[in-house]
Amino acid sequence: AGLIESGASAATEVAAAREAGLAAALGALTTAADFEASPFHPGQALRAMNLIVAPGNLATDPEYTAGRAALVDRAMKIGLARGRAAMTAADQAAARGDLTGTRDPLREFVGLADLPTAKEAPLLVGEGAPASVKEFGELASAARDRLRDLRGKEAEFEAIRTAQERAAVAAGLGGKL
């Protein structure tokens, strides 16, 4: 009976040690990601997370890999929200004919959108990464394309502003121009 109790006690200790190691490893990843940074930089978060090496056999532990993927997904979703907000702000500025207001939010987002490559961080952005990694990359690419397309568009934006100013003057005078 003593041998059985001893074996059960050892199994409990091993399970407790595994849980403690899992919590510590995921805690280290969370700390490295620095989700509270302002502005939050998804690429830097993933690079910092990539420096954290899981101890022992945790690297292949399903709970650890799921937890790590959830943290990567969290970083991407924060980045996606910023990217979508930047695209919306750019849309609104473009509708006003505001070239600077269109360009600045796109530049800011693109500056935060430099993710590590699958070669640099295969466990984070390589095969098996959350779908949000691909979605973030696509949004960042769209923002880069849009920013590139703004070059040489000053005349178009000036025409939008002029038309809006004329409409505002006409409305103020009670007529149409």
For residue range 91-129, list pLDDT tens digits in order. 999 888 888 899 999 999 999 989 998 888 887 888 888
Confidence at 2, pLDDT banded by 50, 70, 90: low
Provide DSSP, 66-128: HHHHHHHHHHHHHHHHHHHHHHHHHHHHHHHT-HHHHHHHHHHHHHT--PPPTTT-HHHHSTT
Q: How far apart are CA 40 and CA 112, in angstroms?
A: 8
| Residue partners of 139: CB distance under 8 A and separation at least 6 | 80, 83, 84, 87, 113
pLDDT of residue 83: 97
pLDDT of residue 163: 67
Confidence at 29, pLDDT banded by 50, 70, 90: very high
